[in-house]
A and B are shown apart, each in its own frame.
Chain A
Amino acid sequence: MRISKLAAASLTAGFLFLTAGTAGATAMSASAATGTATVTVVHGIPNTPVDVYANGKKILSGFTFKTVAGPLQLPAGSYVIDVRKAGSAAASTPVLSATEPVTAGENATIVAALTASGTPVLTAFANDTSAAGTGKGRLVVRHVAAAPAVDVYAGSSKVISGLTSGQQQALDVPAGTVAAKVTLAGQTAAVLGPVNVPVTAGMGTVVYAIGSAAGHTLTAVTQQYPLGGAPSSAQAGTGGLGADPNSPIWPFAAIGGAGLALIAIGAAGAARRRRA
């Protein structure tokens, strides 16, 4: 029916970012290299199995509530996304319809969800693929449920306040498991969770609050997607167990160590001299 203005703006921003971000890279993501976009589809409308069409071609059949489909690779271009009740004729009037432009290398998620007042809606979110710090992942919360504004807790700490339906918020956190809890804004009783959400270094983990508060169908589904551009290194061992006996490092380490010792002696000597 409609694509939220926020989501449309973020798609445009994502397009601009990706255009700038890949220009100087020596290697690129697979989807950028092949001119495709990576698209995930989330079903957040209770009791409504659907078929999903892209430009008239059925891409998902019998797609049900709480299902996350993908990743799908779509050649860059503009897509008319039609959602029909499962089993309906391809020519029948869609329940939901929207036009989605996707760009090469883009990572986006299309959510069939409910607005705060319970109206079905298609919403597109650009997944922010900018890198997080070493050892960190990105936790993204998207409120796409028929429910009022919510707060989100990680453990006992409130990390997101007053998130309204159709909105998202992201934070970069150390890799690990986050016990996430959703409350109505300003309250402490959980309407959802706590659920254990895995946060992986170098990955975005998206938690979708879907369903309907009035219909007692509020629940959460998650999606993961990769962060960062192309890698430039991999550090895959810290123990020394597999060291190659034919090419020992120790002579070089010893020489380096001797050098460090000489630096220390020299620095000490310089300090003595300054005092003298």
Chain B
Amino acid sequence: MTARRWRVRWPAAGLIAGLALAGGSAAGYALTRPPGHDYGTVPSPGTLASSHSAPADRPAATHRSGTAEPPAAAPAVTAVQVPVRLLIPAIGVNAPVLPTGVQAGGALAIPPDPSDVGWWAGGGFPGEPTGAVVLVGHINSAVSGPGALLRLQDARPGTTVTVTAAGHAYRYRVVALRAYAKTSLPVTAIFGQQVTARLVVVSCGGPFDPTTGHYLDNIVAYAVPAGTTH
């Protein structure tokens, strides 16, 4: 009888404790993760010029009819610059940059070759007065070894970053480095575009979880424009 009662209760107790421990381990890390990766101050969104604020919605009927509105005096057509290479000499980065986009579920796709860096083509362009140029690169790959941004966590405020595009070299100065748990990523701070010009470089870091094959953190470097060479 006693033995039978033990058999009944242990599975239930084990299930509860097991679920608690399995579910709690990631949360446990998030709560106790040590400080030490955060440097500098993340730039504020800044004051956007009124000419760059979103226009009021136009009536759909106007759009459908295709009727010409009074032409603007001088349309500010801008041929934007597509980044082609990322240079961060202080931490040994010299990598090709390839355009990338967002997959279903919201994950920014990363170039398959870990020695390449991705540029979110829906985000900002270098040289523009507003918007965040978002670059993302591997820290490493299980298949190919070290990635282009292996040492991003060693960047510090003041580190110079150069993005080249069509013969122009856009220089930026790192102003902040952050390690964020992927479970609590400040999405607007990293990817938000209603900001004055900046560069945001994203990689992975922190502890590696062998059960998922992923790092638990994103390492994010924030940089501001520091001059252009044409």
A200 touching B66 in the complex, CB below 8 Å, given contacts A26-B188, A236-B137, A259-B25: no
How far, in whole Å, are A55 and B151 apart by their CA atoms in the complex?
Answer: 48
| CB nearest to A272 among chain B residues | B7
A263 touches B19 (CB 8 A): yes
B66 touches A273 (CB 8 A): no
Q: Does A243 contact B (CB under 8 A)?
A: yes
> Which among A30, A54, A269 is the interface contact of B14 at CB below 8 angstroms?
A269
Q: Does B155 contact A (CB under 8 A)?
A: no
Give the distance to chain B from A62, nearest Cβ to Cβ, in Å: 14
B209 touches A249 (CB 8 A): yes
How far, in whole Å, are A59 and B79 apart by their CA atoms in the complex?
Answer: 9
Q: Which residues of B contact A248 (CB under 8 A)?
A: 207
| CB nearest to B132 among chain A residues | A30
Q: Does B43 contact A (CB under 8 A)?
A: no
A32 touching B54 in the complex, CB below 8 Å, given contacts A203-B101, A231-B191, A238-B141: yes
Contact flags A117-153 to B (C-beta < 8 A → 1, else 0):
0000000000001011111100000000000000000
A30 touches B122 (CB 8 A): yes
Give the distance to chain B from A44, nearest Cβ to Cβ, in Å: 20
B107 touches A55 (CB 8 A): no
Q: Does A255 contact B (CB under 8 A)?
A: yes
A239 touches B77 (CB 8 A): no
A270 touching B11 in the complex, CB below 8 Å, given contacts A104-B55, A240-B140, A252-B26: yes
> Which among B11, B23, B146, B218 is the interface contact of A241 at CB below 8 angstroms?
B146
Q: Does A10 contact B (CB under 8 A)?
A: no
A249 touches B123 (CB 8 A): no
Interface centre among A27, A55, A247 (most CB of B within 10 A): A247
Q: Does A237 contact B (CB under 8 A)?
A: yes
B108 touches A233 (CB 8 A): yes
Q: Which residues of A contact B24 (CB under 8 A)?
A: 255-256, 259
Q: Which residues of B contact A112 (CB under 8 A)?
A: none
Q: Which residues of A contact B185 (CB under 8 A)?
A: 232-233
Decide if the interface of chain A is mainly helix, strand, loop or mixed. mixed
A71 touches B214 (CB 8 A): no
A77 touches B108 (CB 8 A): no
Q: Which residues of A contact B203 (CB under 8 A)?
A: 236-237
Q: Which residues of A contact B82 (CB under 8 A)?
A: 71
The A/B interface has a contact count, at CB < 8 Å, of 365
| CB nearest to B21 among chain A residues | A259
A232 touching B153 in the complex, CB below 8 Å, given contacts A34-B193, A256-B211: no
A237 touches B25 (CB 8 A): no
A29 touches B107 (CB 8 A): no
Looking at chain B, what size class is its interface with the partner chain?
35 or more
Give the distance to chain B from A256, nearest Cβ to Cβ, in Å: 3
Q: Does A80 contact B (CB under 8 A)?
A: yes
Q: Does A234 contact B (CB under 8 A)?
A: yes
How far, in whole Å, are A276 and B193 apart by their CA atoms in the complex?
Answer: 62
A242 touches B150 (CB 8 A): yes
A231 touching B108 in the complex, CB below 8 Å, given contacts A8-B66, A259-B18: yes
Q: Which residues of A contact B194 (CB under 8 A)?
A: 28, 33
A72 touching B80 in the complex, CB below 8 Å, given contacts A233-B108, A243-B208: yes
A240 touches B142 (CB 8 A): yes
Q: Which residues of A contact B191 (CB under 8 A)?
A: 27, 230-232
Q: Which residues of B contact A31 (CB under 8 A)?
A: 122
Q: Which of B1-55 contact A (CB under 8 A)?
A: 7-8, 10-15, 17-26, 28-29, 33-34, 36-37, 52-55
Q: Which of B62-118 contact A (CB under 8 A)?
A: 62-64, 66-69, 71-72, 74-80, 82, 98-112
| CB nearest to B121 among chain A residues | A226
A252 touching B25 in the complex, CB below 8 Å, given contacts A236-B218, A237-B215: yes
Q: Does A6 contact B (CB under 8 A)?
A: no
Give the distance to chain B from A275, nearest Cβ to Cβ, in Å: 11
Q: Does A162 contact B (CB under 8 A)?
A: no
B140 touches A200 (CB 8 A): no
Q: Which residues of A contact B177 (CB under 8 A)?
A: none
Give the distance to chain B from A105, nearest Cβ to Cβ, in Å: 9
Given contacts A78-B71, A265-B11, 4 further A-B contacts (CB under 8 A): A73-B77, A239-B142, A258-B18, A262-B18
In the assembled complex, 10 residue pairs joining A and B whose CB atoms fall closer than 8 Å, in A order, are A19-B57, A30-B130, A32-B193, A34-B54, A72-B78, A200-B101, A239-B147, A242-B139, A269-B11, A276-B7
